[in-house]
Amino acid sequence: MIAPLTVAVAVAALLLTAWCGYAAFRNQAVKDWHYLGMGVVLLLTLVQLAVGLVQLARGERPAGDGTAVFVSYLVAVALCLPVVAIVSLSERTRWGSATVAAGALVLAALQIRVADVWAGGVGGG
């Protein structure tokens, strides 16, 4: 897996966490520009998914035998923000912003597992 891409996704997700967390702290619902931020992070996750699948198609494999786990994490990462975006649309209060912040934090944590599984860490093989 490409380490700079994994780091970029994690950093972007943490920035989104802080941004939406601050909105929740200020008692604000998710605004259009938050959705734009989610779109940027989502784009990065889709690039990561595509890169991971291309690497698998070229015969590269995670260390150990964690291919199914690796693909599962990539798909979970790509679905994380769309799910919280839908929830935030139905919760037009500060809790919608808090939900997006929590989802983005989960996405950042999943990046650690994506890198760990690719490297053959615990649970990846």
pLDDT top residue among 24 and 117: 24
pLDDT at 75: 93
Q: What is the pLDDT of residues 68-110, one digit of tens each?
A: 888 999 999 999 999 999 999 998 889 999 999 999 999 999 9
pLDDT value at 122 more than 70? no
pLDDT at 106: 95
pLDDT at 115: 87
pLDDT at 124: 45
The whole-number average pLDDT for the span 15-28 is 96
Can you give the pTM of this predicted structure?
A: 0.86
Q: Are the C-beta atoms of residues 61 and 26 closer than 8 Å to each other?
A: no
pLDDT at 38: 95
pLDDT at 79: 93
